[in-house]
Amino acid sequence: MKPRDPQQLGLEGLGDGGPGTAPSPAALEAAARLLAASPDYRVLRRFVPHEGYAEPGAGAEVARAAIVDTETTGTDVASDAVIELAVVVFEYDARDGTVLRVVDVYDGLEDPGREIPPGSTAVHGITDAMVAGQRLDEARVAAMLEGVQWVIAHNAGFDRPLLERRLPLFEKLRWGCSLADVDWEGEGFPGAKLQYLAIQLGFFFEGHRSEIDCRALLEVLSRPLPRSGGSALAQLLRSAAESRLRLWATNSPFETKDVLRARGYRWEPAKRCWHIVVSGREAALEEAAWLKAEVFGGRGVEIDVEVIDATVRFSARPGTRRKRML
């Protein structure tokens, strides 16, 4: 069969340098656009970090947030240590969550004072030799975080406890989580791993080092969501700002354990009590009514209600607890 003319395919630039030469960037881009126009192909572009995203519009409410990511000696937040920290501070329009520009970046290594397990090195590639004698620049991190409205991580329940133990200044800041605060499933994404989200949004990156993970997450958050519209950052900030209340089913009858579990309650061994987290006052009142009717048989009982705001959410620290009569 006679080969088709490259001009018919729109790829005539691919052969401009002669046999054995690499195609020009323009020719590659032309090929990518051609493939992307077909429903039978999907094109992924390598992510190239950049500083500018959008210009602030008229009346923009410019605020700052920081994306953080850690690499560690392991996955135990109580005993493992941070060996790399990246912080990417960016500006956004607080009215609609439009990402504007990156304003500062830090990436530092730290010697944990122990050997890095081979299994951890296999994930992130950081060796004992790379961190030997290294120390995080605490003053630089503190200066970067001044004026920041939010700290964001893609699994804040992991990064926050580790960072608060190493750098207590993170305790004073409000945190959001791009894993928990964006309804990825509702937006049509079956998974929420960062590299998977990137692929679904049309780009790829070499992950598992802190700075590139932060940069890629910012790119993901800047993109419009396919079903609800608006940026993923806007949805994250709305969710992160919501008040959360944890209801403790204090002294619940043993025989109601299956009912509580089916409702979504979790057992806390240390307190020997079932609990659930809900968003907002109305949801808390509805849950309290359910507890009274379905668990305590309509009896008037006293339970603990814990207020969890963004300064303690995802941390190992408790919120403010108060008693409430049902």
138-173 confidence digits (pLDDT tens): 999 999 999 999 999 999 999 999 999 999 999 999
Residues 226-245, mean pLDDT to the nearest whole number:
95
Structure tokens of 282? 């109305």
Residues 282-296, mean pLDDT to the nearest whole number:
96
- Listed as own residue / partner, the contacts of 155-161 with beta carbons closer than 8 Å and 24 or more positions apart are 155/179, 156/180, 156/313, 156/314, 157/77, 157/314, 158/70, 158/75, 158/77, 159/68, 159/69, 159/70, 160/314, 160/315, 161/77, 161/78, 161/314, 161/315, 161/316
Q: How many Cβ atoms sit within 10 Å of the Cβ of residue 163?
A: 26
Structure tokens of 3? 């080969």
H/E stretch holding 100? strand 98-109
Summarised one tens digit per residue, pLDDT across range 246-288 is 999 999 999 999 999 999 999 999 999 999 999 999 999 999 9
pLDDT computed for residue 16 by the predictor: 53
CA-wise closest residue to 164 among 281, 85, 274, 60: 85
- 15 pLDDT higher than 80: no
pLDDT computed for residue 1 by the predictor: 41
H/E stretch holding 106? strand 98-109
Q: Domain spanning 62-240: which CATH class is it, in words?
A: alpha beta
- 6 pLDDT higher than 90: no
Q: In the predicted model, what is the mean pLDDT of the chain? A: 93
Summarised one tens digit per residue, pLDDT across range 40-76 is 999 999 999 999 999 999 999 999 999 999 999 999 9
pTM summary value: 0.89
Local confidence band at 216 (pLDDT 50, 70, 90 cut-offs): very high
Q: How many Cβ atoms sit within 10 Å of the Cβ of residue 188?
A: 10
Cα angle 107, 183, 281 (rounded to 5 degrees) comes to 105
- What contacts 38, CB < 8 A, 6 or more positions away? none
Q: How many Cβ atoms sit within 10 Å of the Cβ of residue 255?
A: 8
Q: How many Cβ atoms sit within 10 Å of the Cβ of residue 3?
A: 6
Summarised one tens digit per residue, pLDDT across range 20-47 is 678 888 999 999 999 999 999 999 999 9
CA distance 253 to 251: 6
